[in-house]
Amino acid sequence: MAPRISNRIASFVDALPLAPGHRVLEIGCGPGVAARAVSRRVGNGFVLAIDRSAKAIDSAVAGSRAEIATGRLRFLQAAIEDFEMLPGEEPFDIAFAMRVGALDGRHQDIERRALERLRAALKPSGQLFIDTGHPLREVRLRGR
């Protein structure tokens, strides 16, 4: 059985401007709780959830078999600063991260590389949200 969603994660997901059909990238998905909640909100859209930890991805996959079977949720072991989209993959409408060290301002070189990867992964109108606001903050990507 999938873990229950915490109030913190629920509040963050509720605040995201999600719409049916959106393509969403979650950075640092952990056990996949938020990814599953977002997947339910985007209907026929798609969620790609990444995490640098193989253990986190294994846990997310184990708790998300039904959602993965729909083809609308996928997990990938990758660090955001090294993330590359598959050839021909559609860009994302929204990217979000909760408690991700690569985007918390402590590691400027990693954060710069991560933001470059996100610029490449998002549509020109795409948005990035992180959990340093109440409950989230949009990060403006230069050149957008």
pLDDT at position 29: 96
CA dist 96 and 22 (Å) reads 13
pLDDT tens digit string along 57-98? Answer: 999 999 999 999 999 999 999 999 999 998 999 999 999 999
The CATH number assigned to the domain holding 103 equals 3.40.50.150
Span 1-11, average pLDDT: 78
Number of domains into which the chain is organized: 1
Residue 114, exposed/middle/buried by CB under 10 A (0-12, 13-18, 19+)? buried
Contact between 24 and 93 under an 8 Å Cβ cutoff? The reply is yes
pLDDT given at position 103: 85
Which pLDDT value is given to residue 80? 95
CA angle 54/57/59 to nearest 5° reads 110
Range of the domain at 28: 7-138
Q: What is the pTM of this model?
A: 0.93
- Separation of alpha carbons 80 and 127, rounded Å: 15
Mean pLDDT calculated for residue range 97-108: 86
Angle between helices 7-15 and 33-41 (to 10 degrees): 40
What pLDDT sits at residue 3? 56
144 within some domain: no
Identity of the residue numbered 54: A
The answer to whether position 2 is within a domain reads no
Q: Residue 132 and residue 72: Cα distance in Å, rounded? A: 28
Local confidence band at 27 (pLDDT 50, 70, 90 cut-offs): very high
Helix extents (H) in the chain: 7-15, 33-41, 54-62, 65-69, 108-121
* pLDDT at res. 143: 59
